[in-house]
Amino acid sequence: MSKLPNLAVVGATGAVGTVMLEILTSRKNVWGEIRLIASPRSAGKRLSVRGEQVEVVALSTDAFEGIDVAMFDVPDEISAAWAPVAAEAGAIVVDNSGAFRMDPDVPLVVPEINPEQTRNRNRGIIANANCTTLAMIVAVAPLHREYGLKELVLASYQAVSGAGQAGVDALHDQLTRVAGDRALGSRTGNVRNAVGDDLGPFPAPVALNVIPWAGSLKDGGWSSEELKMRNESRKILGLPDLKVSATCVRVPVSRGHSISVHAVFGSEVDAEGAREVLRGAPGVILVDDPANGEFPMPIDAVGTDPSWIGRLRRSLDDPRALDFFVTGDNLRKGAALNTAQIAELIAAEFVPATR
Amino acid sequence: MSKLPNLAVVGATGAVGTVMLEILTSRKNVWGEIRLIASPRSAGKRLSVRGEQVEVVALSTDAFEGIDVAMFDVPDEISAAWAPVAAEAGAIVVDNSGAFRMDPDVPLVVPEINPEQTRNRNRGIIANANCTTLAMIVAVAPLHREYGLKELVLASYQAVSGAGQAGVDALHDQLTRVAGDRALGSRTGNVRNAVGDDLGPFPAPVALNVIPWAGSLKDGGWSSEELKMRNESRKILGLPDLKVSATCVRVPVSRGHSISVHAVFGSEVDAEGAREVLRGAPGVILVDDPANGEFPMPIDAVGTDPSWIGRLRRSLDDPRALDFFVTGDNLRKGAALNTAQIAELIAAEFVPATR
């Protein structure tokens, strides 16, 4: 094979799809045709990618004709129904939903960590990890390779864009109502009264608040988001017995997920050694100089490719434990960028090895 | 002794002092005179307490004449200089600063946990705990008594009012600038540009951001706030070997500190048993029904007395570990309320036991 492969972007008009078109435009071009697919409602729209205006076509079986690689940036139930259709039509699917991540016949791939798993695509489908897991795991993996990971205790600070554009709209609508009243935060119920019923996709106001909830309720009081962090971390690192406790919390940040990490290893660690490991790690930027105000934060990490890691300290009570803080752009590495990187690994299969 | 004791409030005009006057007005009156003391700059101001207008007097040695109990709600260095002066003048000092908390001759008291320690005041000074520690420890202590605490892994979500009124002002000034622009969060540097140099007491913009930093830099990369959570938890619970790793993070919340807690105990735990323990615990309110949107959040906990606890789950990988989320009002239980409660324990010493 030596032609450039043809790519389909399913869900091209959504929040992640929009970032995907930016990424496809800015990264090295490895694609023949790029076909944009969305719901029939969006068909006929023209979107810009690689400097060209491309007309969106409606999702259908025929839409995958001639397509070699299909990225899916759509809700779980749409992926569950249509990814197998695309695979049946001959496309290799890279799916950003949660529909296939824990399927034993579907690899869960982070190119910096387990690129070789792209080959084990028995169903013709490769899954992209959850956005919160991705930001964290890129920073944790090199430390695992050095010290042997045994346990993770995680607390997240998740941006509203993790719930799509509706989350961003809800936050800004609420902020507009509360920004001017600096006494508002001093009495119970005040913010609820000011915000009214305009909660968007969240169970409570998110302006001037933190909401310790993301996803749906599962056994034992865990949220689906918290279980994803546990199960996906285990699968990506190939550590089926890894101990993981995660608490997922929504914060009034537009974009950029952060995670406070307590990581326990099999051998002794030291903070400077860990920093040295991270300086050479792919997909990671070390930002760790608190005396000069340098630590990972959403307002800096957003719009960039790497996971930002900092605040590295060795536990004062356990020489095998490290504490640190990670921030990543939930729509780039957390979604569109990682999908693009996986798709590029597959694109390389279409090019002769001698090139 | 049978007269009502005389109380001094030092720092009556500050953020905590203001809440203190509200609390002294709303709680049972156990005081004779209430004298308001502040910097010479504020002397002569008249403030309302117990429905009366009281003139503020300047801090001086003479200001403590006839005072039985003196509450200090002032910065560390003012407490360090003046609390011993008040004690020398015969007052029992309840100090809300960090100046004396780790002094072995000064007890660190949370009335729901170790009220008996108020008697061990060799220096005539009793210390009030840090606001983040307080919200968390009130909920953790009853679980410790039931299950035997061994380790805490903590991640905080701290309100800007922890840095005083200047923190609240900075947040709202920044929110006013960013609320209307919903594209602002999508590019690195955008929020910094919109906010400009108006950072208030923080090292970075706090609107649309989280800042993994509170306090000053200590050995090993730890912040002073993180070390307080470790050292004060150990002292309050009487567990000098307790393992504690804390990460302290500032969030764009006006008032109400939250903490994600991973607690490891000496014996097996279960979530329903823990809930039962917490239902009967003093100073705690259990809010744990995520299916109905009930979990602890700053917008609800602010202005209330208890620590709100919820999201209780037993670890899926360790039957001795519980994960949960706590929120408390950092200016009430986190500061003024706990100080008032300690002072009331002392006031009771002035009243004959037969009453």
Q: What is the 3-state secondary structure (H, E, C) of chain A?
A: CCCCCCEEEECCCCHHHHHHHHHHHHCCCCCCCEEEEECHHHCCCEEEECCEEEECEECCCHHHCCCCEEEECCCHHHHHHHHHHHHHCCCEEEECCCCCCCCCCCCECCCCCCHHHHHCCCCCEEECCCHHHHHHHHHHHHHHHHHCEEEEEEEEEECHHHHCHHHHHHHHHHHHHHCCCCCHHHCCCHHHHHHCCCCCCCCCCCCCCCECCCCCECHHHCEHHHHHHHHHHHHHHCCCCCEEEEECCECCCCCCEEEEEEEEECCCCCHHHHHHHHHCCCCEEECCEHHHCECCCHHHHCCCCCEEEEEEEECCCCCCEEEEEEEECCCHHHHHHHHHHHHHHHHHHCCCCCC
pLDDT given for residue A3 in this prediction: 85
d(CA A317, CA B153): 11
pLDDT given for residue A114 in this prediction: 97
Among B210, B303, B311, beta carbon nearest to A297: B210
Q: Does B319 touch chain A (CB under 8 A)?
A: no
Work out the percent of chain B whose per-residue pLDDT is above 90.
94
pLDDT tens digits in sequence order for chain A, 355 residues long: 468 999 999 999 998 999 999 999 999 999 999 999 999 999 999 999 999 999 999 999 999 999 999 999 999 999 999 999 999 999 999 999 999 999 999 999 999 999 999 999 999 999 999 999 999 999 999 999 999 999 999 999 999 999 989 999 999 999 999 999 999 888 999 999 999 988 999 999 999 999 999 999 999 999 999 999 999 999 999 999 999 999 999 999 999 999 999 999 999 999 999 999 999 999 999 999 999 999 999 999 999 999 999 999 999 999 999 999 999 999 999 899 999 999 999 999 997 654 4
Tokens of B5: 């004791």
Which residues contact residue A90 at a Cβ distance below 8 angstroms, ignoring those fewer than 6 apart? A64, A67, A68
Judged by CB atoms within 8 Å, which residues 189-218 of B form the interface with A?
A: 189-192, 203-205, 208-213, 217
Q: Which residues of A touch B262 (CB under 8 A)?
A: 153, 245, 247, 262
Binary contact (A209, B318; C-beta < 8 A) = no
Q: Does B323 touch chain A (CB under 8 A)?
A: yes
The SS3 of residue B160 is: helix
| Residue of A151, A153, A157, A261 to mutate, interface with B, max B Cβ within 10 Å | A153
- CATH 3.40.605.10 for domain A7-128+336-349: no
Among B209, B217, B230, beta carbon nearest to A297: B209
Binary contact (B255, A185; C-beta < 8 A) = yes
Helix (H) or strand (E) holding B126: strand B125-127
Quick count: other Cβ atoms within 10 Å of Cβ A18?
Answer: 18
- Residue identified by tokens 């993981």 is A244
Judged by CB atoms within 8 Å, which residues 54-83 of B form the interface with A?
A: none
Which residues contact residue B342 at a Cβ distance below 8 angstroms, ignoring those fewer than 6 apart? B94, B109, B111, B118, B126, B128
pLDDT given for residue A107 in this prediction: 98
pLDDT given for residue B355 in this prediction: 45
Q: Which residues of A touch B321 (CB under 8 A)?
A: 245
Q: Does B296 touch chain A (CB under 8 A)?
A: yes
- Comparing alpha-carbon positions, the chain B residue that sits nearest to A329 is B186
d(CA B329, CA B36): 23
Work out the percent of chain B whose per-residue pLDDT is above 70.
98
Q: Does A318 touch chain B (CB under 8 A)?
A: yes
Among B212, B299, B312, beta carbon nearest to A296: B212
Q: Which residues of A touch B239 (CB under 8 A)?
A: none
Q: Is B144 a catalytic residue?
A: no
Q: Which residues of B touch A191 (CB under 8 A)?
A: 299
Helices (H), chain B: 15-26, 76-88, 131-147, 165-178, 190-195, 224-237, 271-279, 298-301, 337-349
Task: Using alpha carbons, select from A202, A206, A149 the residue that is nearest to residue A177.
Answer: A206
- Comparing alpha-carbon positions, the chain B residue that sits nearest to A208 is B253
pLDDT given for residue A355 in this prediction: 45
Tokens of A289: 């100089």
Looking at residue B129, what DSSP letter applies? P
Quick count: other Cβ atoms within 10 Å of Cβ B47?
Answer: 18
pLDDT given for residue B352 in this prediction: 67
d(CA B12, CA B56): 8
Which residues contact residue B276 at a Cβ distance below 8 angstroms, ignoring those fewer than 6 apart? none
d(CA A94, CA A73): 9
CB A107 within 8 A of CB A121: yes
Binary contact (B186, A255; C-beta < 8 A) = yes
Binary contact (B316, A222; C-beta < 8 A) = yes
Q: Does B321 touch chain A (CB under 8 A)?
A: yes
Nearest 5°: phi and psi at B332?
Answer: -95, -95
pLDDT given for residue A353 in this prediction: 58
Q: Is A248 a catalytic residue?
A: no
User: How big is the A-B interface in CB pairs under 8 Å?
Assistant: 247
Binary contact (A247, B323; C-beta < 8 A) = yes
- Comparing alpha-carbon positions, the chain B residue that sits nearest to A223 is B290
Q: Which amino acid is at B142?
A: P
Nearest 5°: phi and psi at B331?
Answer: -95, -20
Per-residue buried b or exposed e for A326-353, using 16+ beta carbons within 10 Å of the residue's own CB: bbbbbbbbbbbbbbbbbbbbbbeebeee
- Terminal C-alpha separation, chain A: 12
Judged by CB atoms within 8 Å, which residues 4-63 of B form the interface with A?
A: none
Domain spans in chain A, listed from the N-terminal domain onward = 7-128+336-349, 132-164+203-330
Q: Of the listed A144, A172, A257, A262, which one is catalytic?
A: A257
**B7-129+336-349 topology per CATH:** Rossmann fold (3.40.50)
d(CA B255, CA B329): 6
- Residue identified by tokens 């920044």 is B174
Q: What is the ipTM of this complex?
A: 0.95
**Cα–Cα distances in Å, from B165 out to A230, B44, B254?**
40, 21, 10
- Residue identified by tokens 């387990």 is A114
Among A254, A313, A316, beta carbon nearest to B185: A254
pLDDT given for residue B260 in this prediction: 98
pLDDT given for residue B288 in this prediction: 98
Q: What one-character-per-residue DSSP string does B181-211 give?
A: -TTGGGSTTHHHHHHTT--TTSSS--TT--B
d(CA A259, CA A262): 10
| Residue of A154, A250, A260 to mutate, interface with B, max B Cβ within 10 Å | A260
Q: Does B290 touch chain A (CB under 8 A)?
A: yes
Task: Using alpha carbons, select from A16, A29, A218 the residue that is nearest to residue A134.
Answer: A16
| Residue of A195, A226, A259, A297 to mutate, interface with B, max B Cβ within 10 Å | A297
d(CA B264, CA B233): 14
Binary contact (B291, A191; C-beta < 8 A) = no
CATH superfamily entry for domain A132-164+203-330: Dihydrodipicolinate Reductase; domain 2 (3.30.360.10)
Binary contact (B179, A175; C-beta < 8 A) = yes
Per-residue pLDDT tens digits for B127-143: 999 999 999 999 999 99
A15 is in an annotated binding site: yes
pLDDT tens digits in sequence order for chain B, 355 residues long: 468 999 999 999 998 999 999 999 999 999 999 999 999 999 999 999 999 999 999 999 999 999 999 999 999 999 999 999 999 999 999 999 999 999 999 999 999 999 999 999 999 999 999 999 999 999 999 999 999 999 999 999 999 999 989 999 999 999 999 999 999 888 999 999 999 988 999 999 999 999 999 999 999 999 999 999 999 999 999 999 999 999 999 999 999 999 999 999 999 999 999 999 999 999 999 999 999 999 999 999 999 999 999 999 999 999 999 999 999 999 999 899 999 999 999 999 997 654 4
Q: How far is B213 from chain A (nearest CA, A)?
A: 8
d(CA A83, CA A106): 12
Q: Which residues of B touch A328 (CB under 8 A)?
A: none
pLDDT given for residue A352 in this prediction: 67
A233 is in an annotated binding site: no
Among A191, A288, A318, beta carbon nearest to B243: A318
A123 is in an annotated binding site: no
d(CA B78, CA B72): 9
Whole-number mean pLDDT of chain B?
A: 96
Task: Using alpha carbons, select from A84, A158, A162, A154 the residue that is nearest to residue A125.
Answer: A84
